[in-house]
Amino acid sequence: MNGVETRVPPNFIRTIVAEDVKNGKNGGKVLTRFPPEPNGYLHIGHAKSICLNFGLAAEFGGLCNFRFDDTNPGKEEIEYVDSIMNDVRWLGFDWQDRLYHASDYFERLYQWALDLIKGGKAYVDSLSADQIREYRGTLTEPGKESPFRNRSVSENLDLFERMRAGEFVDGEHVLRAKIDMASPNLNLRDPVMYRIRHLPHWRTGDKWCIYPMYDYAHGQSDALEGITHSICTMEYEDHRALYDWYLDNLDVPSRPRQYEFARLNLAYTVMSKRKLLQLVQEGYVAGWDDPRMPTLAGMRRRGYPAEAIRNFCERIGVGKRESMVDYGLLEFSVREVLNLKALRMMSVLRPLKVVIENYPEGQVDQLEAINNPEDASSGVRSVPFSRVLYIERDDFMENPPKQFFRLSPGREVRLRYAYFIKCVDVVKDENGEVTELRCVYDPATRGGDSPDGRKVKATLHWVSAAHAVQAEIRLYDTLLNRPDVSDEGSGATFRDFINPRSLEVIADAKLEPALAGAPAGATYQFERLGYFCVDPDSKPEKMVFNRTVTLRDTWAKVAKANEIKRA
C-alpha cells in the first residue's frame, strides 16, 4: 500500500478533513452525508457532491449517510425518491443500511422547538407572509419586530401545539426563531422554523400538518446522525450562522460543522432543477432521462459510464469559485473509459452503395476482425463480405481537396479487415446525386495488406448490404447553443437558447450483423464514428442506438478549417 498514491487531487475541504482526522477531532472519525430533496432527478452537479461526500468518507476510513431532505411535501414525489436511490447506486456508491430521512426526525425536531419556545427563543407569529416580508427590511435597512414577537411562553406553547393539532389553516401562523431583526445577515432576522401545510407527506402521511424549514431541520438532522462534516454548496454560506445558532441553542448530541463548495456549471447545459423541470414539462426533451439531459438518468441512457462521471468529478476539483467547466472534459472522460472497454463494430450511418465489379455474385467471404485493439482478451469475430457493400457517404468525394485521403475516382483505399478497392466509376441520378460507386478489388489484399508492399492512405469501414442489420440511430448535439445561459438578460430566457438541432434521427443505418439483438445498454465503438449504445427503445426487429460521443476527429477539424479558408 506504499507509493501507489490514491490520486485524489488536494482541495480545501479534503485539507480540513485531513487536519481534523490528524488532530483527533470527532474521535478521528469522519461521517458525511448526501442529502437530496426528492423533488427532481439527480444531475451531474449532484454527482460532484456525491463523489465528494462518499469519496471523503472512503478516503478517511469513514462513512457517508444517505438522507432524504423531505421537509416540503408540496414538492416531493415517490418517482424522484426511487430515481435518486437508483442513480446513486448506479454511480457506484453504497450507503448500506444508512438510509435516513429528515422526516425520521419530525417528532424530535418538534420537541426541540418546544424547548426553544420555553427558553423564550422562539415564538408563534401571526403576520401574513406578505407582512413578514415587509417586516424583514431590506439588504440595507434593518427589519422591524413583529407585534407578536413578545407573546408569552404559555401562549406560544398553546398556539404551537394547536398548529400541530391542525386547528389553523395554511399560512395562519408560523413558528419563528427569536434572533435579531436588525442582523445584517437576513437569515438571522427571526427565520421561520415551521409553517402550516395541510398536505400529506410521502412518508408520514397525515400525521403532520406543520413542517420544519430546511434551516431548522438540517443541522439537527446532522447532529442526530453524528455527521462530522456537513458539506453543501456556496449559496448556503450565509445560512451557516443560522445552522450554528440552532445547534448552539439546542441540546444536540453532536456538533457537526458546515462547509461550502462551489456548485458545478457545465457549458452548453443548465443545472437548476427548475429549468430541467421546465425542459421536461414543456416538451423540449422526452423526459428526465432524455439522453440530452445533464441528469444521471439521461447520461446513463446516453451511454456515459458511471466510472467516466466519477473520473470527471475528480478532475474538475472542488473549490469556492464560480466556474464553467468545458463540456469537452466530460467527453474526454467518457472516451477514456469507453476506449478501453467498448467492442469495435462497423456500422454505416449514411450509406453509399458500392458494387465490387470483379467480385463474384453470390459469394460471401468471412473476414476476421479484432474486437478491441486495446484489449487482446476480447478476441476476434468474423464479418461477412460480398459483392454489394455500403460505405459512409462522407468517405467518398468526387473532387477531393488535397488533404482528403479517402475514396475518390481512380483512388485505392482499404476496406477494414477486407481488401483494397479502387473506384472505377461513379453512378449518379438525374439530379447529379451520387447513388452508387463501381469499384474493383484486389484479391491478393485479403485481410487488408498488400503482399507487394503497396500502401493506401485511408482505411474505410463498410457493411455487406445483404447481411446488414437496419437500425435507427439517434445523434445528439448540445442542449443549448451557447455555453453560458446564466446571464439571460434583456427579457431572454434560457429557452431562447435551446438548440433546435440537439437531436438528429437517422432512420436506416446499416450495421454489421454481429450487432443484431444487442441488449439495451450495450455499448460499442462504431469504428471511425464514435461510441454508441443500445437505447431502451430498441427492439430486436427495430434496433435503436444512441451516439454517446464521437471519436476525436482531426479530419473534421481540417475540413472545417478549409471551409473557413474558402469562405
Please, which residue, 355 or 559, has the CB nearer to RNA? Answer: 559
Instruction: State the Cα–Cα distance between residues 72 and 74, nearest whole angstrom.
Output: 5
Residue labelled with grid coordinates 443484431: 516
Instruction: State the Cα–Cα distance between residues 209 and 239, nearest whole angstrom.
Output: 25
Please, which residue, 409 or 503, has the CB nearer to RNA? Answer: 409
- Among residues 14, 37, 203, 320, which one is catalytic? 37
Please, which residue, 288 or 419, has the CB nearer to RNA? Answer: 419
Minimum distance, C-beta of residue 6 to RNA, in the bound complex (Å):
15
Minimum distance, C-beta of residue 227 to RNA, in the bound complex (Å):
15
In the structure grid, which three cell numbers stand for residue 189, read together?
432576522
- Among residues 25, 29, 98, 263, which one is catalytic? 263
Minimum distance, C-beta of residue 431 to RNA, in the bound complex (Å):
25
**Could you tell me if 103 and 70 are in contact, meaning their C-beta atoms sit under 8 angstroms apart?**
yes
Minimum distance, C-beta of residue 130 to RNA, in the bound complex (Å):
8
Please, which residue, 71 or 290, has the CB nearer to RNA? Answer: 71
Minimum distance, C-beta of residue 71 to RNA, in the bound complex (Å):
4
Please, which residue, 192 or 440, has the CB nearer to RNA? Answer: 192
Please, which residue, 155 or 537, has the CB nearer to RNA? Answer: 155
Minimum distance, C-beta of residue 528 to RNA, in the bound complex (Å):
5
Instruction: State the Cα–Cα distance between residues 434 and 354, nearest whole angstrom.
Output: 11
DSSP 370-431: ES-TT-GGG-EEEEEE-SEEEEEGGGB-SS--TT--SB-TT-EEEETTS-EEEEEEEEE-TT
DSSP 44-113: HHHHHHHHHHHHHHHHTT-EEEEEE----TTT--HHHHHHHHHHHHHHT---TT-EEEGGGGHHHHHHHH
Please, which residue, 370 or 520, has the CB nearer to RNA? Answer: 370
In the structure grid, which three cell numbers stand for residue 62, read together?
469513514
Question: Is 273 marked active-site?
Answer: yes
Minimum distance, C-beta of residue 403 to RNA, in the bound complex (Å):
5
Q: Which helix (H) or strand (E) holds 123?
A: strand 122-125
Q: Phi/psi at 41 (nearest 5 deg)? A: -85, 155
Q: Which helix (H) or strand (E) holds 368?
A: strand 365-370
Minimum distance, C-beta of residue 540 to RNA, in the bound complex (Å):
26
Q: What does the DSSP 8-state code read for residue 438?
A: E
Burial class (CB in 10 A: 0-12, 13-18, 19+), 5: exposed
Instruction: State the Cα–Cα distance between residues 80 and 77, nearest whole angstrom.
Output: 5
Query: What do you get for the CA distance between the two ends of the chain, in Å?
Result: 59
Please, which residue, 238 or 282, has the CB nearer to RNA? Answer: 238
Please, which residue, 373 or 500, has the CB nearer to RNA? Answer: 373
- Among residues 48, 176, 257, 273, which one is catalytic? 273
DSSP 306-361: HHHHHHHHHHH---SS---B-HHHHHHHHHHHHHHHPEEE-EESSEEEEEETTSPT
**Could you tell me if 9 and 314 are in contact, meaning their C-beta atoms sit under 8 angstroms apart?**
yes
Please, which residue, 40 or 351, has the CB nearer to RNA? Answer: 40
- Which distant-in-sequence residues (6+ apart) come within 8 Å of 60 by Cβ? 17, 18, 21, 30
Number of Cβ within a 10 Å radius of residue 42:
26
Minimum distance, C-beta of residue 394 to RNA, in the bound complex (Å):
9
Instruction: State the Cα–Cα distance between residues 358 and 386, nearest whole angstrom.
Output: 11
Minimum distance, C-beta of residue 17 to RNA, in the bound complex (Å):
13
Burial class (CB in 10 A: 0-12, 13-18, 19+), 462: buried
Considering Cα of 451, then 453, then 456, then 461, what sign does the dihedral take?
A: positive
Question: Is 79 marked active-site?
Answer: no
Active site residue ranges: 37, 263, 273
